[in-house]
Amino acid sequence: MSAPQARDFDVIIVGAGVIGASMASLLMARKLSSRVAIIADRFATAAPADADWDLRVFALSRASERLLETCGVWDSLPAGRVFAYERMCVWDARGEPHGTSSLSFDSAEIGEPNLGFIVDGRALQWHCLQAARSAGAVLLEAGLASLAATDADASISLSDGRTLRSQLVIAADGPESKTRELLGIETAGHSYRQDALVAHVRTAKSHGNTAWQRFLRGGPLAFLPLPDGRSSIVWSCPLDEAARLRALDPAAFGAALTAASGEALGDCELSTALASFPLKLQYALEYARCRLFRRTPAAAALRTLAPQREPVGRRRSGRAGAIVRERRSLERGIALRGFERGRQAAVRQAPPRAASPRANRRSSELSQGGCKDRPGLVSGRIHARVASA
């Protein structure tokens, strides 16, 4: 009987976005693994120092701040790419900001310096990757050719001809996951028949370190405060309305935005090009297989600003770390089956669309796996309370 082949790594993570890179850093920081590799077709590069804010922004909770501190990311983020917001105001199309039907949150009321942070998406991804590298993770730039798993280990073949073996593979390669495709894991979901319009805007009135969101008949409109006085907007619209708005010149779009916001921040003016992203619900039908587990993707391609109880990545990263730590359970598939059950339950509880302030008032706050007889791929992306994608 031939001796088992040595594993190259304890954990191989496929995907070098915020999720994959922060997961690698967390495993190393908590000493859950000393041999971690990140595989990606391409790795992010640093943005020029004078670059504008990325159109992708993350609204991170205080708990997310603590998680990123543990990962060695938070203190490395440039001060100009992080902005603390202190208040949040949510109202509907029939109401007024701070009116009787609105919801308001203020960090002073809970004795905190802020409610969270708006973070430049490109800066966050780059510094998560650098933290993983500094912690000792091995970065391998190559495509994924094949993937197989046995009771002994998982094996990955790369596009450059290398073959790697590990105890566990974590898939964090996004909604168009190559890992999921190779494993034949199907997805479910549907289109919301909405587009999210994203841009940075200047407003006549100060944003007041406040995140603003109005629920309109066609979808929510959010203003996220930026450090230079501008706001990052995410405007979810039915497809025909989104097409009409995209066709407007900048001045006409600014006027439409001003009207849609109820002039809460006065006249609005585009300061960047307008981007557009389709909104859809998508989730995997399986989250764990033998020696593989999938970090779950966000239920929707983009989420809106309504408050969510679960902080970015915190709970799922904790579960993922526990799976790696419980090696005996991993061999029996127990930990992975538990992870899968938890993720499936979370998907079932996810709201079908953004809830209104009235629904939020009722629920207080919105909340933001394995083989049957063998061990058990983990995939996903960070659940920011807002991601202008």
Bigger pLDDT: 180 or 201? 201
Query: What is the rounded CA–CA span in Å between residue 31 and residue 314?
Result: 17
Bigger pLDDT: 343 or 246? 246
Can you tell me the mean pLDDT for 158-166?
95
Kindly indicate the confidence band of residue 7, based on its pLDDT and cuts at 50, 70 and 90: confident
- Per-residue pLDDT, 98: 86
Does residue 167 carry a pLDDT above 80? yes
Query: What is the rounded CA–CA span in Å between residue 303 and residue 81?
Result: 21
Bigger pLDDT: 109 or 1? 109
Can you tell me the mean pLDDT for 363-383?
31
- Per-residue pLDDT, 324: 53
Report yes or no: 207 and 194 within 8 Å, Cβ to Cβ. no
Kindly indicate the confidence band of residue 277, based on its pLDDT and cuts at 50, 70 and 90: very high
Other Cβ atoms less than 10 A from the Cβ of 78: the count is 12
- Per-residue pLDDT, 363: 36
Question: Residue type at 213?
Answer: Q
Query: What is the rounded CA–CA span in Å between residue 63 and residue 368?
Result: 13
Bigger pLDDT: 331 or 189? 189
Does residue 162 carry a pLDDT above 80? yes
Kindly indicate the confidence band of residue 284, based on its pLDDT and cuts at 50, 70 and 90: confident
Does residue 177 carry a pLDDT above 80? yes
Comparing CA positions, the residue from 321, 302, 284 lying closest to residue 220 is 302
* Six-digit token string for 58: 């993350």
Query: What is the rounded CA–CA span in Å between residue 282 and residue 284?
Result: 7
Contacts 24+ apart (CB under 8 A), 159-166: 164/8, 164/9, 164/12, 164/37, 164/140, 165/5, 165/6, 165/7, 165/8, 165/9, 166/7, 166/8, 166/9, 166/10, 166/11, 166/12, 166/37, 166/291
Can you tell me the mean pLDDT for 367-385?
30
Residues 312-370 have pLDDT tens digits of: 444 455 555 555 555 544 444 545 555 566 666 665 555 555 445 554 444 333 222 33
Does residue 303 carry a pLDDT above 90? no
Query: What is the rounded CA–CA span in Å between residue 163 and residue 161?
Result: 7
Residue-range domains of the chain with CATH: 9-75+121-188+280-363 (3.50.50.60), 83-120+190-279 (3.30.9.10)
Q: Is 267 helix (H, G, I), strand (E, B) or coil?
A: coil
Bigger pLDDT: 29 or 258? 258
Bigger pLDDT: 149 or 367? 149
Query: What is the rounded CA–CA span in Å between residue 298 and residue 277?
Result: 15
Helix, strand and coil percent figures for the chain, each rounded to 5: 30, 30, 40
Measured on CA atoms in the order 304, 305, 307, 313, is the torsion positive or negative?
A: positive
DSSP code at position 1: -
Does residue 259 carry a pLDDT above 90? yes
Share of the chain above pLDDT 90, in %: 60
Does residue 144 carry a pLDDT above 50? yes
